[in-house]
Structure 1
């Protein structure tokens, strides 16, 4: 295997060296075009000269063939394709990176000169001139463009020509906030932005039919000798009369159950100055109305319209939200137009069932199938409520392990959860939803129970109940607060083998003893990843989990010195973590993705150890992929010294991780990745069973588990199946060893991208 790898490396190097030698393919009498540069010769100091030069460089045509480390591989594989038998590798690489050659004969300098002069005049440098000159070498040629820049024309004054009312006053009020100021250089792009800004301002105050194309700028230089001009704004003569008046909404019709195939109106209910059509027996008007920010006698405003559409879409009961306006021309006069707003809401199917078959591969060689079923009922009580009932079953078997006793262990996982979501705030005191301009908070309630049985070890029953709220503050920020969160766990059917483990590890035993968790959770999320066209994308998620404070008021001290509630010992802790992500998008579907995670849990009061279900673990397909789930840490702890191979106690109350990944397209829906991960978990208070190997110290950098690998992803319209292969190059159990161990490659399967 090693010999084959070396041959592949040597072959790749030879291909790269060959890619340098494209000159032998250049036809006789031709020169390869290598690019152009622009020189600006100015009569005076140019403000933002670098920006002006960048604009001129964007106008240079054609673009030369791309280079990589001084080579032109795209051009090389183009030439190789011209051979009679180019071969499979050459055909494949040509399809991926091949480029047709750009020669000196393809360059038309006089056309570029005209474009450069035009760009200069558009930015106030009238009477500019451009010249060009080829710089030729043996088989290459470039162009040098020289542009003269006389002193630019600047604004002396900016005013609005007299217009008829009411639009004259509206435009004047908008121009009062202009960014076009005295002394600013003439610039067509700034004037275009000014027109769009005024159009946006007018739309917000009702000018439904206005368009930025109706605005016209005129420059008058007759009053000045020193390249100054007066700028006038007026309307084009052909501007329609209906575009010069604001529009008011006089009627709002809400079609709560709209079907384009059947538009029969069965009933109309008047509620809060809106007409709800076919609503009373499908979606009660009193619940639907708060989502609609449009009001009768309100002036048209596209932002209000978009806000209404977004809020209605967030309910979760509708697949389409369409707001249309109809002009009532018979009621329009010289100063006001009239609109009728129609809100068409097309509902989703009321009931849905989703099945998901899973193949699970976990730590300690556990693997097996899993099945999850989810039933959804939308608009349950005619108020947009959503009921989700889910059940899951998983069976895993341990195919092998470090000891004979570990082999053949099985794990059975059963789960049942009900979730009821109300698209409004349920609170004893009425909450004014006008405060939540972007989105109305949803109330989430859930009940769940999970049963985990591990043969030869234990059975764990866990029940959870939650009540809280979630809402979007704006397009990027989401808040979730769970003021009531209750978790109950019960460890049972423990085997003598497991009892012996607990007796030998007081930390682990203590983490299972506190069965009752009652607390508050808060989560803040900033998701800049929704702007898919941006080069730089950021994501931040911060969570806070506090338990035991309120319940401690009712706690009673037991014979062991701990406090309990309803005879159940409860946990007290504070846990905070942050997940930071950054994506740098470049090229075609190429991304450098980075992630940094940090978390800390502090037990206090009634707890000296974090509850087992709240502790951190590291390793696995969404963590440090060169290590299996729960197999990393804590600290420099090495589980190979433990004959029981207790992966379940490899947890801690501190977690740090960092990941970097380069993602690139391969072909069609297949994507590739190269990545590196680092991370570990620790305990802030040393576990005596680990001889302080698990304690967090200032030497934590050297205790990070590190690995790297490659991945293949099947990405079909956002649904991603992920296959990652990673090998460790630093095991914290061996702090001074940095060896890339390919023999210990770990395979990870996941759904979705890791970060």
Structure 2
């Protein structure tokens, strides 16, 4: 066996130590008793065929020890723990005469006793036992119970006469064994006919309307899941059709034959039995289930546990009675629009849930409670809706630590003041301010720190705020919201320093529990670069290219003022002269791009490209855009690892201003229309984002992510603004490249901030448990960015059809994560597996080594 310890040369003693630990940990049966066997594999066979269904495998009560790539790490860590470390300590203490006496005189008897309980003696053994995993020793009691569960499962699928057994295949010398579970299913039973017995006339009428939609069908194989689903379906129908107190336990299915008797046919007669509501608190007289309508609806707008309803005032509004204390602080319509019950209407459980959802959406009340008082004789309901107001004002201070594609770490402090029910219609006004400092990633900038300060004003309406009625299109049960916000932000030491002013008018609503729509009617963003003279300081890679070209023109007398002086006059070396920033660099560009100047075509093209990039990145941007975003996510909770999510977005910018320009002459500059002296941006942009997770039991998850985005400039713009473009690399993208260092296309990190207007990204990640809350992952990230339909002409950076897909970069690697339940801290190590910037065969595995690996620290999973 050969032990590899990385690339460094290690001392023989350290190597021997690691070898001993490794060999010790390889003894998987170290703590397996003489008459015991370590379970290595479960095999399930049904009618002689191997079963691979994860649901059926989950019925087995005892499984082999967990492993990582086939290696039982936790078991071997457990085996490293000493069985009785305290007794071993006592043996060592008493092995030599007077050893304990000498230690007692040097320390004290009490300290010597405590030493036996210390980490030195017991600590590492306790640690290994805690993070390790005891050997999975075959337990025949659990095995028999597993066979019973298998038999019960197949019985629920219609195999009523199935049998199950098991056999243990052991290797006595190795003290290891496999268990083979054998199931003989027999013939399945099928449903021949479905009868029903429903004493309640109201329930019977409802059932007749919907019986053709039954999930229990004649001729279908018996499946208990279908019967349970049918009980749920009928319960929903009854509760949403006026039977407010219907209980699912009232539904039962009876099989009208003895399935234990052997018969020529395998057919079943099934009876649906829906019993009456039993006598009790909800049904004191023992009457039938009935369809109930609303007799009265009361809304208590100022409810508290100490409220005395006798002292409240009331107001009748559109069939509702609103109760309040002294003065009604809310517009009646705002309250009644949140309630989906109406007087004389039939009760519906869906409307109860929608009412709770819309009241929560008002963000004005806490813990809404709905009470129903029934008059069983007349089948009528009185509904009391209790609304406990939130405080009018609230103040919040928050402190956060963040990690992004630009910052190694950032620390922020923010504060906000919230005012509720601003205009009496449950509107919410929020004023917030924030500030942060961060440590930049080395590849991002020569600067070490970044700072940011900003503030926002947000006004939220719990409805669609438009001059016309939208309730028919977007009803209130979709919890609609209108948000109007104005904010400003000042950022230093990232790029050219930036000031931005943003204003948004947006609408969002949720058509279902899994779908959310957002429509930004107007998103106005003004971006002003406040330190444009620092362009060649910030983008030093661009400056180096320009300076390299300028080295060939140092002897021209007219260019003398473009360069700085030698740093050491004693050295006669023109290479020590550099272009002065910013004037020398700007003047040099202006001089060599004049018509007739003697410069090679290649150098002239490069200089013009630098000039275009400088103009683009230093110009101010004015963006008037509208967008629509569709999001669907069927994840049901934080522990749901079997879900998918989809996000589609379409954005259009500049069209409103372009239309206005047809009627109002705009100021012009270089053929572009100006608004307040700034060229407005015009483009269309679309994005598709898809995520899918597969759960493989034992918290093992396979996660897939795909993204494609394209922004096309036109009309008033030749390129997409930097703030709306795409980049590659970073902790949430291709983790084998640093942020902004991938692409475009085949180019090799030619700029400090590489960006483009087309992006494709594909990510695959396998996540698995390691030790306790530590998780591991293997990942593969593919993708790149390109320029397309803009003013970039470099064939290596542009997308030129399907052939450009050969430039998709591939990064692979592994990650370590610590799960805090509510968030995850992760460390990912990425290797450049396929680098499109290389030539030919050097594209594969050229930088696939630890010294060229990229480390990414992130918070939460990237997808």
User: Per the shorter chain, which TM-score range?
Assistant: 0.7 to 0.9
8 Å contact kept, 2:516–2:631: yes
CA RMSD of aligned residues (A): 4.5
**Separation in 1, partners of 2:501, 2:34:** 80
Q: Which moved more, 1:308-317 or 1:392-401?
A: 392-401
SS at match of 1:194: helix
- The secondary structure found in structure 2 opposite 1:306 is helix
Q: Tell me, yes or no, if structure 1 residue 386 matches structure 2 residue 432.
A: no
CA distance in 2, matches of 1:18, 1:546: 64
Check 1:350–1:511 CA distance in 2 against 1; reply closer, same or farther (3 A cut): same
Secondary structure at the aligned position of 1:166 is classed as helix
- Aligned-partner SS, 1:197: helix
Q: Which residue of 1 aligns with 2:319?
A: 273
Please tell me whether residue 27 in structure 1 is matched to residue 33 in structure 2.
Answer: yes
- Which ranges in structure 1 are unaligned for 5 or more consecutive residues? 43-48, 641-645
Q: Does 1:325 align with 2:364?
A: no
Q: Residue 467 of structure 1 corresponds to which residue in structure 2?
A: 505
CA shift, 1:59, in A, is 5.6
Cross-structure match for 2:238: 202
Q: Which deviates the most, 461-470 or 550-559? A: 550-559
1:629-663 deviation per Cα after TM superposition (whole angstroms, max 9, x unaligned) = 434433344567xxxxx635x32222233334444
TM-superposed CA distance for 1:454, in Å, is 5.4
Higher share of residues assigned strand: 1
CA distance, structure 2, for counterparts of residue 318 and residue 52 of structure 1: 51
CA distance in 2, matches of 1:681, 1:10: 49
- Kindly report which structure 2 residues correspond to 1:632-671, keeping only aligned pairs within 5 A, or say none: 632-638=742-748, 647-648=752-753, 650-664=754-768
The one of 515, 518, 532 equivalent to 2:624 is: 518
Distance 1:367 1:509, change over 3 A: farther
After the TM superposition, which of the residue ranges 53-62 and 631-640 deviates more from structure 2?
Answer: 53-62
Instruction: Give a deviation string over 1:41-100, Cα, whole Å, max 9, x none.
Output: 69xxxxxx9999998876656555567766655555555546334986665454345134
Shift of 1:447: 1.8
List per-residue Cα deviations over 1:521-553 (Å, max 9, x = no partner): 222222234444544322222222211222112
Q: Is the 8 A contact 1:683 1:694 kept in 2?
A: yes
1:193 is matched with which residue: 216, 225, 229? 229
Tell me how far 1:726 sits from its aligned partner: 5.0
Corresponding position of 1:643: none
1:316 aligns with 2:363: yes
User: What SS does the corresponding residue of 2:729 show, helix, strand or coil?
Assistant: coil
Contact residue 664 and residue 671 of structure 1 kept, 8 A: yes
CA distances 1:168-211 after superposition (whole Å, capped 9, x unpaired): 33344443432323333455554343333323322222223322
CA apart distance, 1:480: 1.2
1:397-452 per-residue CA deviation (whole Å, 9 max, x = no partner) reads 889899xxx86687654433222111111112222257436413211212223344
How many angstroms does 1:36 deviate by? 6.4
Aligned residue for 2:643, secondary structure, equals: strand
Q: Distance in 2 between matches of 1:586 and 1:479?
A: 31
The alpha carbon displacement at 1:604 in A equals: 0.9
1:15-34 deviation digits (Å, cap 9, x = unpaired): 77766644565433444556
Q: Distance in 2 between matches of 1:473 and 1:723?
A: 38
| SS state at 1:374 partner | strand
Match of 2:681 in 1: 571
Which shifted more, 253-262 or 12-21? 12-21
Whole-Å separation in 2 of the counterparts to 1:186 and 1:424: 48
Partner of residue 191, structure 2:
155
Contact 1:562 1:569 in 2 (8 A): yes
In structure 2, do the counterparts of structure 1 residues 667 and 117 end up closer, same or farther at CA, with 3 Å as the change threshold? closer
For the 8 Å contact 1:466–1:482, the answer to whether it is kept is yes
Distance in 1, Cα, partners of 2:372 & 2:15 = 65
**CA separation of 1:172/1:509 partners in 2, compared to 1, >3 Å: closer, same or farther?**
same
2:643 is matched with which residue: 521, 532, 537?
537
Aligned 8 A contact 1:74 1:94 in 2: no
Q: Secondary structure at the match of 1:3?
A: coil
Task: Indicate conservation of the 8 Å contact 1:206/1:247, yes or no.
Answer: yes
Q: Is the 8 A contact 2:782 2:809 kept in 1?
A: yes
**Paired residue secondary structure (1:380):** coil
2:745 is paired with a residue of what secondary structure?
coil
Instruction: Identify if the C-alpha distance between structure 1 residues 505 and 317 changes in structure 2 by more than 3 Å, giving closer, same or farther.
Output: farther
Higher alpha-carbon deviation: 544-553 or 111-120: 111-120
Question: In the alignment, what sits opposite 2:84?
Answer: 84
Provide the rounded CA distance (Å) in 1 between the counterparts of 2:498 and 2:838. Answer: 34
SS of the counterpart of 2:624?
strand
After superposition, the C-alpha distances for 1:293-333 in whole angstroms (9 at most, x for unaligned) are: 12222333222211211222223334423323233xxx322
The offset of 1:610, in angstroms, is: 1.7
Aligned residue runs from structure 1 range 671-690, under 5 A: 675-684=779-788
Structure 2 unaligned residues grouped into runs of 5+: 1-5, 86-120, 280-285, 534-579, 591-609
Pairing of 1:726-741 with structure 2 (within 5 A): 733-735=837-839, 736-737=842-843, 738-740=846-848
- Please give the residue correspondences for 1:578-589 in structure 2 after superposition, counting only pairs within 5 Å: 578-589=688-699
From 232, 246, 262, give the equivalent of 2:271: 232
Which residue in 1 is equivalent to 2:211?
Answer: 175
2:298 matched to 1:253?
A: yes
Q: Structure 1 residues 433 and 666 mapped into 2: Cα distance closer, same or farther (>3 Å)?
A: farther
1: CA distance between counterparts of 2:782 and 2:382? 60
Please give the per-residue CA displacement for 1:587-606, whole angstroms capped at 9, x wherever unaligned.
Answer: 44444433322222111112
1:284 matched to which residue of 2? 331
Distance 1:161 1:368, change over 3 A: closer
**Matched residue SS, 1:299:** coil
CA distance in 2, matches of 1:117, 1:401: 61
Task: Report the counterpart of residue 734 of structure 2 in structure 1.
Answer: 624
Cα deviation, residue 724, structure 1: 5.1
Deviation at 1:732, TM superposition (A): 5.2
1:340 equivalent to 2:377? Answer no
Alignment partner for residue 247 of structure 2, among 172, 186, 211?
211
Q: 1:431 aligns with which of 470, 480, 483?
A: 470
Question: In 2, are the aligned partners of 1:254 and 1:277 still within 8 Å (CA)?
Answer: yes
Report what 1:354 is aligned to: 397
- Match of residue 441, structure 1, among 450, 460, 480: 480
- Provide Cα deviations, 1:498-532, integer angstroms capped at 9, x if missing partner: 57469642244146546432221222222234444
Pairing partner for 2:130 from 88, 95, 108: 95
TM-score normalised per structure 1: 0.81
* Range moving further from structure 2, 278-287 or 196-205: 278-287
Q: What is the rounded CA distance, in whole Å, between the counterparts of 2:659 and 2:155 in structure 1?
A: 76
2:416 corresponds in structure 1 to 374
- Aligned residue for 1:428, secondary structure, equals coil
2-side partners of 1:489 and 1:677: how far apart? 32
Q: Which moved more, 1:226-235 or 1:517-526?
A: 226-235
Deviates more, 1:139-148 or 1:193-202: 139-148
Contact 2:818 2:826 in 1 (8 A): yes
Deviates more, 1:487-496 or 1:194-203: 487-496
Distance 1:436 1:637 in 2: 51
Give the distance between the partners of 2:170 and 2:134, measured in 1 at CA. 22
- Superposed, 1:119-158 pairs within 5 Å as 123-125=157-159, 138=172, 139=175, 151-158=187-194
CA distance in structure 2 between the partners assigned to 1:707 and 1:53 by the alignment: 32
CA deviation map 1:325-349 (0-9, x unaligned): 233xxx322x725343434445266
2:535 corresponds to 1:497: no
Match of 1:550, SS state, is helix
